[in-house]
């Protein structure tokens, strides 16, 4: 099952690129949904609803929103950094938090392997981008071309940072929209394994995981 939200920013080329990116992953998820069958019952970890209306899990990073510092701290902890853009009232964001990331196996994997920073697409908190520029969450989302909620942006390891380069130019992967648990977890696994550095495209990686599951 696929959950999807669309927000319009007045940059036609960015919209086109993001839609194409979403469609590629969405088509794969549709195929997988028809071949893997429904997941068995699994313990769900209930997220917390913040005062601002966004859902989050208790282990999400309490960040001062200096992204370079967040990346360095994640690296020192042996983890990767993922930034999730959401918005209040987004049913797809809620489903991701309460139905997908809430699955214990997914929750455990992401918690142990990633530092997760949550951003409000329309938020006013000040954020320091990787190039040192300070702006609101809303301005950062626009700068990075985020037009879907939820959107997860995956950053490189700290050692791979290029001085003076903003986040949208150094990201290693992104997932626009909320997908089924298998596709969702596979993206985190692929990033952790640095699949973006190899020749195996994410779609092929997911298909190989599907085949492994079917062979068991």
What CATH number does residue 203 fall under? 3.40.30.10
Query: Where in the sequence is the domain holding 70, given as residue range(s)?
Result: 12-37+45-215
Q: Is the dihedral of CA 100, 34, 82, 122 positive or negative?
A: negative
User: Mean pLDDT over residues 112-116, rounded?
Assistant: 99
Query: Given pLDDT bands bounded at 50, 70 and 90, which one contains residue 211?
Result: confident
- Report yes or no on 3 lying in a domain: no
Residue at 131 is within a domain: yes
- Mark 117-147 as b/e (b = at least 16 C-beta within 10 Å): bbbbbebeeebbbbbeeeeebbbbbbebbbb
Percent of the chain with pLDDT over 90: 73
Query: Given a cut of 80, is residue 10 above it in pLDDT?
Result: no
Does residue 77 fall inside a structural domain? yes
Residue 22 C-alpha from the chain's centroid: 13
Q: What is the pTM of this model?
A: 0.82
Predicted pLDDT of residue 40: 54
The predicted pLDDT at position 47 comes to 98
For the chain, what is the mean pLDDT?
A: 87
Q: Domain tally for the chain? A: 1
Is residue 5 a part of any domain in this protein?
Answer: no
pLDDT of residue 178: 83
214 has pLDDT over 50: yes
114 forms beta bridges with 80
């Amino acid at each position: 099952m696929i959950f999807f939200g669309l927000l319009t920013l007045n940059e036609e080329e960015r919209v086109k690129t993001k839609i194409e990116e979403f469609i590629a992953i969405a088509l794969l998820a549709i195929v997988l949904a028809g071949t893997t069958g429904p997941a068995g019952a699994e313990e769900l970890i209930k997220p917390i609803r913040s005062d601002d209306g966004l859902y989050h899990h208790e282990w999400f990073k309490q960040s001062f929103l200096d992204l370079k510092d967040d990346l360095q701290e994640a690296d020192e902890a042996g983890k990767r950094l993922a930034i999730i853009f959401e918005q209040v009232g987004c049913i797809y964001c809620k489903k991701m938090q309460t139905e997908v990331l809430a699955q214990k196996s997914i929750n455990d994997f992401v918690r142990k392997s990633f530092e997760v920073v949550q951003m409000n697409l329309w938020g006013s908190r000040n954020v320091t981008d990787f190039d040192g520029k300070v702006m609101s969450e809303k301005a950062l989302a626009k700068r990075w071309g985020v037009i879907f909620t939820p959107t997860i942006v995956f950053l490189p390891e700290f050692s791979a940072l290029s001085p003076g380069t903003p986040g949208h130019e150094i990201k290693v992967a992104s997932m626009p929209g909320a997908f089924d648990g298998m596709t969702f977890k596979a993206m985190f696994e692929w990033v952790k394994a640095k699949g973006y550095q190899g020749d195996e495209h994410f779609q092929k990686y997911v298909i190989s995981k599907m085949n492994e599951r079917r062979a068991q």
